[in-house]
Structure 1
């Protein structure tokens, strides 16, 4: 089944229901104006784009770059590419220029659809775009030799028969953020997208009556396929930490949003704003946060702002998602365990997902018969398998070999995360495998150690770093790195006292100050430990 067929089916069932909603400026009273497509209109738009793509020479299997900001037409363009059998290549432009250009060059796209700024980029870096043969501009006019996809599609037929695809045929290439190395192109099939849609629908009990606000643009693909209305937030998705909470509140209330998903950096702003202004969001039933460990404090904020809902923290990776899911209320019930270093509570794996905790090894594991599965409460690497588990990285056989474990016809994915499973089958996350520090034959895990020093009331966040010995970098809430001798002495002694209360942190004696930790570009909240390790930090003495 072609992914785009899901929209065709929904359009037949609910032709006049709103599909995509977007803001269209504000009126003189400062209130948002909105525009929308019905599902019938969305299907027609997809078909017009599909006919235009075929007419300019797009063929089944062509890889297509899409550089278009979230708008009414974003989802229509994605589904049109699927419908003609092309392979959308989705790269986060916020990942940084060098990794972005390397990712782009590695996939050899033939098609490029982009806003004018993207076409300026191809003129600046022609070698990177050398494989592209067909350029299309998302705008009303041609630009730098790229024809307007809007003009080309305006008079096309509103009917189009989707190209048949095999279940395991390459459907899209989605790039990882590259948080622990070079960004990798994850190979998605049409079947994986359809299976993810089904898993998310079942896990969050979503129906066509729900209304979505996707902080992560691609999430709309899933909710639209379920027949939900998707309301595009007024924000730059490449800068989630800069999202305006007042605008988010207005959209959620104006559109009676019941389901919202995205980076915790988005929702942190909204939560703090709601609590400080005594604002409630009564329609919001599910607030889904992913991309980084979620603080207890963020769950607590929304326990006050969501009278009829809860927060959710689904666990997974681009290579396999969703894996597990935890409700905020369940996290708060375990906050003392979390603060004492047990890890981040991930909840139980979904019923359709198999998870093993295996001995942490650096080399590739060829077969499932070669793993050493660990018992409950022992720390190891998470190994997962489901219908949403991807089988490889695009043109990266060595990376694929390291990440995949073969089990007959099926494939397990090594998550690169370490943690453990408790007696009740719940998963606990202790950090990225790449962030583990081994010193004198003892393993130190980032999350379990940082949760201890984060208890200090003046600590905004802490990070396990490697110096001569395992050490802790501290970002204070006041961002200060210039303390008086007396202040530094007091702060250091307080940190040492906190550390001595726990067996796994009692030996930490070296602390460093950083005014502001560097963070990842995709979610704007995960600590960029590579950059932090390269920074000159002030030793706390």
Structure 2
């Protein structure tokens, strides 16, 4: 098998196999009757447009390995530019705009971009902060090139299409730097290789039996890359991808029905809003063949509501487990959760994330907070015992960009291979299924032993008036006091002291009925728990612990 693996070649293959199939569909506005107008590109058009852009990038000065920050809103142009950058041999830097200005500048300056393909505002900030980006000399503005060199999308396109030979890359050549969400510390740049993207496409396609000709609505923009590599049409959703918890359900539903969407991906926060809206208005989504949701465990109420929207009895909501550094690892479907694992989850067993993907190995090892020099030094635990989750497979990234200490902490050498430490704790059951018990950094270390967030929070989430909860520890590690912070369902927040006392007693009774949570004596109420910027669902327990300490003084 050839080691040539430029991920953009997968788009070229799709263009050859299905030249006239729509590759990307974009909502370009609404008419007076509220109907969407759509613009689109076929696979052949997308392939040729990205060829023209790639030639322009090379004329601009982009060379193999050039690091280019891509800061463009989801659109036809975003997808064309992504493949053009790959075709030119560039390394794409992708960052969540929702992480805030200071974080964005810090993260970008850390990876030293040599150029920006970005909207005018980002280019203006780059110029104002030029000392943070001393190497950024190759710049393209998406939109009117204000205060820039005048090089824009049209300039990159150049003249008419002519055959273009993309820059060949090997499986281990760098393809992108994608930042973690920063839910358990500062965001870190994860180095992706072309072969890793190639493996991700094959793993997802084969496991979920995704067929060419399907239509996908991805709530995460980069997933359009996977679609184009599979011969699947991408419908760009009319939403702010950095705020899935604020999605307008009616817009997504209209697009699903307009385009006959067969697959849709979104965070649990997105499906929570859409599922509740569908339940209120008795809406079903007959075209869907599968729904995917990731970023955090999908609550049972979300699974139940979404399954009510499906018409085809074989349609289900699937939860792939993984991380920016390693995706996918395992998967479970909604019917399996409801029929086999939800009762155990409710009693504190953790969240079952399913069976590992074929070709992906998973081990549970004794929990450590220091680097592990080799796999022989890791003590593997037997089924049923909670420990660190480590994984090995072709989709696992091998390093953080220019972060040798973080890389050493997250990777375990194993001969010529390596294991990635997920930063999660969990266990394998007797059947080999993987259970997630929380983040290692979120464990509460009490005098009587560790407490695991996902296991304990599930006990309190059973209360009908509680939307979600967070376990935090107050005090020094080894003698922490466990505290549960709850976010009631909308309209159920106890405003009076008597209502608060009543709900507190009901929650304490739930906790005392389970040995995992019987030591919890403090319940705090929060109107809206802080969550991550990417999925709007991972709870920022680091922010809640200091808040809780102030509340109980």
Normalised by the size of structure 2, how large is the TM-score?
Answer: 0.95
Q: Distance in 2 between matches of 1:16 and 1:432?
A: 46
- What's 1:318 paired with? 324
Cα deviation for residue 135 of structure 1 reads 1.2
Question: Which deviations, in whole Å up to 9, do the C-alpha atoms of 1:434-454 show, x marking residues without a partner?
Answer: 000111141100001100011
Question: Which deviations, in whole Å up to 9, do the C-alpha atoms of 1:177-197 show, x marking residues without a partner?
Answer: 111111111111100000100
Cα deviation for residue 99 of structure 1 reads 2.0
How does 1:227-376 map onto structure 2 within 5 Å? 227-308=231-312, 309-333=315-339, 334-376=341-383
* Partner SS for 2:292: strand
**Which residue of 457, 461, 465 maps to 2:472?**
465
* Partner SS for 2:287: coil
- What's 2:183 paired with? 179
Question: Which deviations, in whole Å up to 9, do the C-alpha atoms of 1:355-392 show, x marking residues without a partner?
Answer: 00100011111111111000100000101000001110
- What's 1:201 paired with? 205
Cα deviation for residue 536 of structure 1 reads 5.9
Q: After superposing the two structures, state which structure 1 stretch, 150-159 or 524-533, moved more.
A: 150-159
**Which residue of 213, 217, 221 maps to 1:213?**
217
Find runs of 4+ consecutive structure 1 residues off by over 4 angstroms. Answer: 140-143, 478-483, 536-541
* Partner SS for 1:497: helix
Cα deviation for residue 500 of structure 1 reads 1.3
**Quick one: structure 1 residues 96 and 480, their matched pair in 2 at CA, closer, same or farther if it must change by over 3 Å?**
farther
- What's 1:192 paired with? 196
**Which residue of 492, 496, 509 maps to 1:497?**
509
- What's 1:517 paired with? 529
- What's 2:460 paired with? 453
Q: Distance in 2 between matches of 1:235 and 1:190?
A: 29
1:164 equivalent to 2:183? Answer no
Q: Distance in 1 between matches of 2:427 and 2:258?
A: 42
Q: Is the 8 A contact 1:19 1:228 kept in 2?
A: yes
1:83 equivalent to 2:83? Answer no
Q: Distance in 2 between matches of 1:257 and 1:485?
A: 48
Q: Distance in 2 between matches of 1:14 and 1:457?
A: 50
Cα deviation for residue 403 of structure 1 reads 0.3
- What's 2:478 paired with? none
Question: Which deviations, in whole Å up to 9, do the C-alpha atoms of 1:19-66 show, x marking residues without a partner?
Answer: 111011112211001111011100110011011101111111100000
**Which residue of 152, 155, 161 maps to 2:156?**
152
How does 1:100-115 map onto structure 2 within 5 Å? 100-115=104-119
Q: After superposing the two structures, state which structure 1 stretch, 163-172 or 526-535, moved more.
A: 526-535
Q: Is the 8 A contact 2:29 2:37 kept in 1?
A: yes
* Partner SS for 1:314: strand
Q: Distance in 2 between matches of 1:217 and 1:484?
A: 43
Q: Is the 8 A contact 2:68 2:117 kept in 1?
A: yes
Q: Is the 8 A contact 1:48 1:159 kept in 2?
A: no
Cα deviation for residue 479 of structure 1 reads 6.8
* Partner SS for 2:427: strand
* Partner SS for 1:326: strand
Question: Which deviations, in whole Å up to 9, do the C-alpha atoms of 1:69-114 show, x marking residues without a partner?
Answer: 1101111111111111110011111122222211101000101100
Q: Distance in 2 between matches of 1:47 and 1:538?
A: 57
* Partner SS for 1:20: strand
Q: Distance in 2 between matches of 1:476 and 1:497?
A: 17
Cα deviation for residue 10 of structure 1 reads 1.3
Cα deviation for residue 142 of structure 1 reads 5.7
* Partner SS for 1:260: strand
In structure 1, runs of 5+ residues without a counterpart are none
Q: Distance in 2 between matches of 1:507 and 1:39?
A: 59
Cα deviation for residue 496 of structure 1 reads 1.5
Q: After superposing the two structures, state which structure 1 stretch, 474-483 or 205-214, moved more.
A: 474-483
- What's 2:433 paired with? 426
Cα deviation for residue 156 of structure 1 reads 5.0
Cα deviation for residue 141 of structure 1 reads 4.8
**Quick one: structure 1 residues 240 and 280, their matched pair in 2 at CA, closer, same or farther if it must change by over 3 Å?**
same
Q: Distance in 2 between matches of 1:59 and 1:529?
A: 42
- What's 2:23 paired with? 19
**Quick one: structure 1 residues 81 and 255, their matched pair in 2 at CA, closer, same or farther if it must change by over 3 Å?**
same
Q: After superposing the two structures, state which structure 1 stretch, 126-135 or 187-196, moved more.
A: 126-135
Q: After superposing the two structures, state which structure 1 stretch, 415-424 or 449-458, moved more.
A: 449-458
Q: Distance in 2 between matches of 1:214 and 1:91?
A: 17
**Quick one: structure 1 residues 339 and 61, their matched pair in 2 at CA, closer, same or farther if it must change by over 3 Å?**
same
Q: Distance in 2 between matches of 1:388 and 1:154?
A: 36
1:9 equivalent to 2:13? Answer yes
**Quick one: structure 1 residues 124 and 107, their matched pair in 2 at CA, closer, same or farther if it must change by over 3 Å?**
same
Q: Is the 8 A contact 1:211 1:255 kept in 2?
A: yes
Q: After superposing the two structures, state which structure 1 stretch, 369-378 or 258-267, moved more.
A: 258-267
1:409 equivalent to 2:413? Answer no
* Partner SS for 2:93: strand
- What's 1:64 paired with? 68
Q: After superposing the two structures, state which structure 1 stretch, 23-32 or 354-363, moved more.
A: 23-32
* Partner SS for 1:22: strand
1:53 equivalent to 2:67? Answer no
* Partner SS for 1:313: strand
1:118 equivalent to 2:122? Answer yes
Q: Is the 8 A contact 2:474 2:548 kept in 1?
A: no
**Quick one: structure 1 residues 327 and 481, their matched pair in 2 at CA, closer, same or farther if it must change by over 3 Å?**
closer
Cα deviation for residue 345 of structure 1 reads 1.3
**Which residue of 391, 413, 426 maps to 1:384?**
391
* Partner SS for 1:366: coil
- What's 2:498 paired with? 486
